[in-house]
Structure 1
Amino acid sequence: MADLTPATPAAPPPAGNAASQPPARNPALRMLGLPALPRKLPSRNWMIFWTVSTTITAAIIYDKREKKRAIAKWTHAVEHLAKEPLPDGLGLAQPRKLTIYLSSPPGDGLRVAQDHYTEYVKPILAASGLDWEFVQGRREGDVRAYVAERVRRLRRGWENDNEPDPTKEPTKEELVDAFRQSRGIKDYDGIRGDVVIGRHTWKEYVRGLHEGWLGPITDPSLPEPLPAVTTPEPLPAVATPETLPAVTTPESSTEDKPVEDKPAEEKPAEEKPAEKEKKPKRPLQPRPYNTTADYPASPLPPLIPSAFDPSAPIREPHLLGFLNTPTRLYRFFNRRKLADDIGREVASVCLCTYREYHQLAAKADPARPTNSATQPQYEQQKELQWEEKDWVKTVWTEDDPKDPETAEIPERLRAKPMVVDPRIATRMRRFQLLPEDEERASRIVVPEEEIEGWMKGKLRQLYRWGARKAFEKKKRTPLEDKDVE
């Protein structure tokens, strides 16, 4: 007989099952098709990744904004110069013109120096409204040769020796000067100025000044031209009647034979490789007219000015190498300081405020005996000297005579210490900002819209557009009723 016991009710589910159920999703997010927001932090690895990425991104954005702010500050400090009228309203007087010297840094090309100039120097010069010219050196010694030749050309003009050198073709500057003199255009009568970018360019600039002022005007390596020897012209031959019969010789027999066309076709093909070999890859660099050992014995020109045009050495840090990555990263995240220092130097050039180069404390020369006089040190020798520590090792190695690139350079200046003559050093001037100009620049407030990035600028434009559409009320005018014919 079957057991008729009542069935026991089912046990209620445990309390833990209710807690394990997924939480109710936000109905708004569910309608948009978005998942529920997580209620826990990401994993440890994701936290490390997002922290490092956000920190690096924020550092780059902040440094870039502050770099723009520093450049904009010095741009506003000199922009009033662009509004000043020219001294001559007829356009017969040239405005103030600067000279920018830059050359390829050690171990790299000229494009690096051009990008450095475009990023830090050019915006301030463009805002000032001044004119400038470029002197670019692709090889070591190009700037030295240009500066020395410019000084020699100036000396020849002062000594009334304007006759062109028959051994050289007239340069572009000489042709332009001759054209301006024929048109009656006057030169700028005032302080010009030189902007020298980098320690390597600064060494060549100072060496070129010494070579131009202390060296000879003409090239001493060229031999003196010999007097022309006149040779008597040969007398014309007297025509005589032919009495002897023609005698056939091997030479005459070959002349009677027809000339074959095959050698004539092969001759131009043989000349083409020879023509390519004769074409030089680049013009040879002129050799220096003197050496640093000739400075003490070289007399000064009688018409040398008491002060030269001021100059401004501009920083150009350039560090290469994988092992230098920490230093390069530090400089990359602190470009705002570099922009502020360069902007201060360029602003002093635009405002034309300068001073003399200082003479530093005397330093004993280890090559001389102890009882000899100490060698004086000048500020020009210490300018940007810290950049030499960043140069590649090939600068300090000896030249390979088999290397065609180093064989074309007549004088190596970067690896040698800078030698300065006191007579030239005391005549040089340096651009420096005045305290009142520094204080005026510190009070300049750069608007945020001028330095903000693309994303923030677009968001600002979107906000203003929405606010204008939402809150501005357009003035509505009723249309006049017109009879329709």
Structure 2
Amino acid sequence: MANFKIPSPKTTAFVAVLSAIVGVKKYDTYRADSIRERIKAEASVKAKEPLDPMALPTKVIVYLTPPPGDGIHKSRIYFRDFVKPIFDAGALDYDVIEAKEAGDIHTAVSQELLERRRDQIPAPPGTNHTTSNAEAIPPSPVQKIDVRTVPKIAIGRQVLAEIYNGLSEGSTGSLNITPEPVPDLVTEVAAVTDATTEQTTEATDAADLFTETAPASEPEPFLEDPAAATPTTATTNTISPPSEPPVDYDALDTGDLPLLPVVGFINFKNRIGWLSMPGRILGFFNTAPQVEKIGEQALSIVLEARRPFRNPEDLYRGQDDDVAHGLEPKDIVPVVMEPRVMDNLVVFDVPKCPPGSEHV
């Protein structure tokens, strides 16, 4: 004890500040884990429900896209840390689809709806056109999931806007298929070139050096072959595939809307840039409100809390994500939806934000 010295004021201050920082983070982690476990316990009620032997488990499709100005890895980490634990606790089956570029989700969703509308059109008289899957494929005792009606979950405002636009375009757009140009089937015959002839002659001369000279004989008369005298040239034969008259789907369309999938939404605010550094530091030490907010949104999807689409509440949902990303008006994806699509659309209910998480 004689050699014990009291720490200097600087050392004491450093240890005190470091302990406070570590303590704040530890406390935030404890709160976040407690909230996550509570939400997982509520979601596990759905997993414990008995399932009919002939029924299929609930399944959703989760769409991810690179957040503005960042990479797709941010979306993967966000889904893994905040959404996936709740889905797993509720035994929710899900597929994750990642978009490489903006507009890919819009195109994929619209094509699914267009295919469903074509399937609903009866076969035109006098044609072999089969549009219904039930007519083309024999009935199977095993029930299958139609991915075109599986609920679609949007992670972030940008994905939600593309899903809305894809649903509207696929439900009301033209059904006619634009024919793609068919490439010509070309059959080519290799041409005999002078270089090939020279190589063959040199190889023959080299081989004659190692063989005995045959006795001389009278040369046979040279018969000129017009076909052989003319070097072979490349010929092109175009084979046209048999063409069938295109089906005018628009003339056969009844105008009825297809069965629309349920749409779910989960906020995703990815702050980047030096100006957002203070907010990111604050968020690092205060993740509990975000865990609660996103967890409640995922829980409503697990518990299948569905309701009709509300305009304009659901139309403009998630615009605070665009504000957090600092997007310019020209970079924001506009939403264009037909009124009758909104009238028939069903969405997962988004719970109210917990206190203190409105700006998370």
**TM-score, structure 1 as length reference:** 0.52
Q: Residues 101 and 391 of structure 1: is their aligned pair in 2 closer, same or farther, counting only changes over 3 Å?
A: same
TM-superposed CA distance for 1:179, in Å, is 11
Q: Among residues 323, 326, 337, which one is paired with 2:289 in the alignment?
A: 337
SS at match of 2:60: strand
Equivalent residues in 2 for 1:2-401, closer than 5 Å? 25=1, 36-38=3-5, 40=6, 42-87=7-52, 89=53, 92-160=54-122, 183-187=140-144, 193-220=151-178, 222=179, 246-247=223-224, 252=229, 302-304=255-257, 308-359=260-311, 378-391=312-325
State percent identity of aligned pairs.
23
TM-superposed CA distance for 1:183, in Å, is 3.6
1:425 paired to 2:334 = no
State the structure with bigger RCO (CA 8 A, min sep 6), 1 or 2. Answer: 2
* Deviation per residue, 1:152-189 (Å, 9 max, x gap): 22222222469589xxxxxxxx99x9999664222469
CA–CA distance in structure 1, aligned partners of residues 268 and 98 of structure 2? 15
* Deviation per residue, 1:110-130 (Å, 9 max, x gap): 121111111111111111112
Aligned amino acid, residue 326 of structure 1: P
Matched-pair contact (CA < 8 Å) for 1:94–1:185: no
* Deviation per residue, 1:389-427 (Å, 9 max, x gap): 23366x767xxxxxxxxxxxxxxxx53432232222222
Aligned amino acid, residue 355 of structure 1: R
SS at match of 2:344: coil
Pairwise CA RMSD: 3.7
Matched-pair contact (CA < 8 Å) for 2:262–2:345: yes
Q: Residues 37 and 219 of structure 1: is their aligned pair in 2 closer, same or farther, counting only changes over 3 Å?
A: farther
Q: Residues 252 and 434 of structure 1: is their aligned pair in 2 closer, same or farther, counting only changes over 3 Å?
A: closer
Aligned amino acid, residue 325 of structure 2: W
TM-superposed CA distance for 1:251, in Å, is 6.5
Matched-pair contact (CA < 8 Å) for 2:28–2:287: yes
TM-superposed CA distance for 1:434, in Å, is 8.1
Q: Residues 315 and 57 of structure 1: is their aligned pair in 2 closer, same or farther, counting only changes over 3 Å?
A: same
Aligned amino acid, residue 303 of structure 1: D
CA–CA distance in structure 2, aligned partners of residues 357 and 72 of structure 1? 30
Residue ranges of structure 2 left out of the alignment (5+ in a row): 183-220, 233-252, 355-360
Q: How many equivalent pairs are there?
A: 289
SS at match of 1:99: strand
Residue ranges of structure 1 left out of the alignment (5+ in a row): 1-24, 26-34, 166-173, 226-243, 256-299, 360-377, 398-413, 439-485
Aligned amino acid, residue 101 of structure 2: R
Matched-pair contact (CA < 8 Å) for 1:144–1:204: yes
CA–CA distance in structure 2, aligned partners of residues 160 and 250 of structure 1? 58
* Deviation per residue, 1:355-389 (Å, 9 max, x gap): 22333xxxxxxxxxxxxxxxxxx223321101212
CA–CA distance in structure 2, aligned partners of residues 316 and 389 of structure 1? 11
Aligned amino acid, residue 84 of structure 2: K
Q: Residues 44 and 420 of structure 1: is their aligned pair in 2 closer, same or farther, counting only changes over 3 Å?
A: farther
CA–CA distance in structure 1, aligned partners of residues 309 and 227 of structure 2? 82
TM-superposed CA distance for 1:254, in Å, is 6.8
Matched-pair contact (CA < 8 Å) for 2:43–2:299: yes
Q: Residues 396 and 249 of structure 1: is their aligned pair in 2 closer, same or farther, counting only changes over 3 Å?
A: farther
Aligned amino acid, residue 60 of structure 2: L
Q: Residues 137 and 69 of structure 1: is their aligned pair in 2 closer, same or farther, counting only changes over 3 Å?
A: same
